[in-house]
Amino acid sequence: MNLTEALRSSSPETTISHIPVHQDGSCNGLQHYAALGKDKLGAIAVNLVAGEKPADVYTGIANRVMEIMRMDAQKDPSVEPDAARARLIVDQVDRKLVKQTVMTSVYGVTYIGAREQIRRRLKERGVIPNDSELFGASCYAAKVTLTALGEMFQAARSIMNWLGDCAKVIACENEPVRWTTPLGLPVVQPYRKLGRHLIKTSLQVLTLQRETDKVMVKRQRTAFPPNFVHSLDGSHMMMTAVACKRQGLNFAGVHDSYWTHASDVDTMNKILREKFVELYDTPILENLLESFEKSFPKLKFPPLPERGDFDMKEVLESTYFFN
């Protein structure tokens, strides 16, 4: 209704609108990993660098997957089994096929998880009716998609592995992983093994599940990278919300989608960029490692992963950072 009123008005630019306009991050988890790793290639892919039009990371990965498959398709199927799979599936590669895998890569999606995601997309299309061929094609497509992701986001993968390795060191001491966000919020991963407790009554025996004192090492390890990055995007959201309040902007947000009124969109866009740069002006990984070493002085943690030379100040000029 607001839009209709504006279009019918003789001066649309003066029409008062109450509709919240949302600005979304470009695969926000990968934006944070690119910033953590100062990764220039990754930064370009997720709009940390200014461009004439928004970069689409999903299309970028799909294009790289197609390049790899076209090269594989030219090989001899009798020597390279992937050649036949590449020929079968290359025409099905598009943004939608790889999107879920790219999105969940920041949550540590496994090869099996990626395979199932892609298998479901292919099954929806009904282009490979044979279940055996569908499975083989899904295995191949998942492998190639993860390869393309590793090429484009090398820094993200190394940081993800480093975070997981640190968590394993701590969890192997039967301690949960703890950290403090840049805003000072303490976080503890509560994953502990469950034990069974039997209660006998006159009618039946009840089984209760209760947490034990033993931590789940694997869960602590796999959950830490996505949880840590979520704590960073939550910090960015809070910093943005506080700055918006100080400037008199109405603010609402859901994960990496931030809303304000149409007249304030440009102002919020500027605040989003400024607060992201402010967040990553702090040595986040160095502070994390230092806190681990202080809490567990007898444990040996892996060295910090190598990082690139991306200048975070470039984000200030990227109007498509959130768009």
Q: Catalytic residue numbers?
A: 24, 99, 256
Closest CA to 101 of 206, 49, 29: 29
Question: Does residue 108 come out as left (phi exceeding 0), alpha (psi in the -120 to 50 range) or beta?
Answer: left
Show the tokens assigned to 235.
């910090």
Strand partners, 254: 257
* DSSP 8-state class, residue 283: -
* DSSP 8-state class, residue 208: E
Question: CA-to-CA distance for 301 and 289, rounded, in angstroms?
Answer: 8
Question: CA-to-CA distance for 25 and 91, rounded, in angstroms?
Answer: 29
Amino acid, single-letter form, for residue 255: H
Amino acid, single-letter form, for residue 4: T
Question: CA-to-CA distance for 290 and 2, rounded, in angstroms?
Answer: 52
